[in-house]
A and B are shown apart, each in its own frame.
Chain A
């Protein structure tokens, strides 16, 4: 099933996040960009651009679940469609009150990119 969304941008990643995400995702399916201009001096953070696929969504959900000590996952992400149109969305899942938190995160990501959630849930 082809997603109308081509990529998801996830900002605010630390160096450790980057190492972990690289481990989770297949080579070539994620790139990291420092999106400030040359003259800007910013915090040591980067933005991941994940190419959308069923496997990548599953891996991204797994990575989001790792930072779950507060019981709430809240992350701003941006989707980019084939025409380059961008849309910012806040993903929010209360993992304390959810019976199947990972499935919920997967479901929200799948919905965001227009993929059938059951396809993603089935991948292990």
Chain B
């Protein structure tokens, strides 16, 4: 005996399960709420307001989730959200009336159809969503030659870099490139990329590797067609618009023809969309995108579509979208509960711009002499914030959340009590003026339109509208989870269970088949089937003979390639005890030849990676 008893493990303050998911960043398509792991407001709150001071350890997660948020703030993201909220409201109505007696009502059928369209589109798009986010994490570097940079990259500049002092446009680019390159060659990034290579290639099992290889393959193809898309930032701006700004998909999603035909048409449409990419005039698309995005910088209210978009389809999509939104307007005969649910859903549908990037439980102390509170986290003072009118001063716990507007490029701090009621909302001083020229996205008969609004409206918006939609992201997520379990319960206990399962299975089969082809466009043609069988469950691990050292070497060299390092320069990033770059390249070449897929080469001393 005599063994020293270990000190008790520390019990955390907050034991709510929701926060336990904090080890994993996420964005919810339905609410567009987000969570970024690693942000600790007790330590990082001040850094949020000092340009370039946000912790670099959060950069990778931030970029990944910002790309999701940016994609979902789109006509397709909005339409998917309409379908799912409409279904849940319809389910809710059935539950209140007749669930046990006769669950198959017209409304239930309609709800089921909405769910199937939502889930089919979600499954079809998920690899693209993850592929775009991973592509941003590992490959995207804006180029100074292009006039514009993407929204997520603009936020990286603002939060994680400090501009250099010279007056050229390189003063922003250089620090951005340094930050991105440093992030990519970090141990955490190499480890994450190695783990990406272990993901199953079967898209219905995991969307990550299939999506990443698909997007990267599309980029290679695009570069061959136009030099403009050597700029990966411009390319992924284009790809976001191609998939998430797709009015054709909106039309298929909201088309009133119900039943299996609708789902089959959706799968067929998406497959055609992917195939059509190879036949686009990408030079014209890139030129238009560059020009129009630049116009948007000067006039944020401007809206536009890709060169290949049919204006008739746009018009039809906008009309269907507008009509679908009418479902959420209170109707005669709606109960108070239904009205409230509709209002909540409508708020979440129209206000999807803010992205929460940090959240903490705080102690709130009223200041007697002023209409303000002192906020602290675990006894550390964080800020003094002015409270909203009508709030009764009371010492209590609450939640502090930080938000950014990807579209409007401003920041918001919100303070809520434990029931989610807003206590205070603050924007930085320099944003006050900007609010006078507030940009809002509103629903019109032409679909979603971004508008500038006057000061009067902006004041009202700041006091009311803004405060209404700065709901604590944890609350939004909880709400989504609750209605999700209700939906699952109804699907399990309705006569539609078998049909639901068989439709989901058909969609999975279609998703696997689509991405089997798109993710292996770089493999030897006659070996695609064999390569797919090899990679379906454990990604590249079997190709690399399950060798963790070779896996690490491939991750390192692929990242070195993406930032333009030579083989010689990449050496310092490989652990000395593992292997030299030349041995790694030889071994990888042999593994690649055996499998029938190129992995990474050295060309004139520089690295070129396919993965």
Contacts and interface: CB of A to CB of B under 8 A. Distances in A.
B484 A38 contact: yes
A39 B28 contact: yes
B10 interface: yes
Contacts of A104: 6
A83 interface: no
Contacts of B8: 111
Contacts of A40: 26-29, 477
A1 interface: no
Interface residues of A, number: 36
Contact of A86 (B6, B15, B126, B196): B15
A7 to B, nearest CB: 14
B199 A15 contact: yes
Interface string B2-21: 01011011111011010111
Given A16-B195, A108-B9, A76 B26 contact: no
Contact of A37 (B11, B12, B133, B480): B480
Contacts of B30: 39
Interface in A70-116: 76, 78, 86-92, 103-104, 107-108, 111-112
Contacts of B359: none
A9 B15 CA distance: 13
A44 B122 CA distance: 17
Contacts of B194: 16
A45 B12 contact: no
B484 A76 contact: no
B129 interface: yes
A71 B9 CA distance: 18
Interface in B189-211: 191-192, 194-196, 198-199, 206, 208
Given A14-B195, A76-B12, A118-B3, A39 B480 contact: yes
Interface residues of B, number: 49
A44 B206 contact: yes
Contacts of A89: 9-12
Given A44-B196, A76-B12, A39 B24 contact: no
B15 A90 contact: no
Contact of A39 (B1, B19, B122): B122
Contacts, number: 113
A92 B191 contact: no
A94 to B, nearest CB: 11
Nearest to B209: A44
Contacts of B29: 39-41
A91 B8 CA distance: 9
Contacts of A45: 23-24
A16 B190 CA distance: 13
B68 interface: yes
Given A11-B21, A36-B21, A117-B3, A43 B26 contact: yes
B10 A36 contact: no
Given A14-B192, A19-B198, A89-B12, A36 B17 contact: no
A73 to B, nearest CB: 12
B196 to A, nearest CB: 7
A17 to B, nearest CB: 8
A25 B465 CA distance: 53
Question: When A and B form their complex, which 7 residue pairs have the shortest distance between CB atoms, in order from nearest?
Answer: A12-B23, A42-B26, A15-B198, A107-B6, A14-B195, A11-B23, A39-B30
18 contacts: A15-B198, A16-B194, A16-B195, A36-B21, A37-B484, A38-B484, A39-B30, A39-B84, A39-B122, A41-B28, A41-B130, A42-B24, A44-B196, A88-B12, A91-B9, A107-B5, A108-B6, A111-B8
Interface of A: 9, 11-12, 14-16, 19, 35-45, 76, 78, 86-92, 103-104, 107-108, 111-112, 117-118, 121
Given A92-B9, A121-B3, 14 more contacts: A11-B20, A11-B21, A15-B195, A16-B195, A37-B477, A37-B481, A38-B119, A40-B477, A76-B12, A78-B17, A86-B15, A89-B9, A89-B11, A92-B10
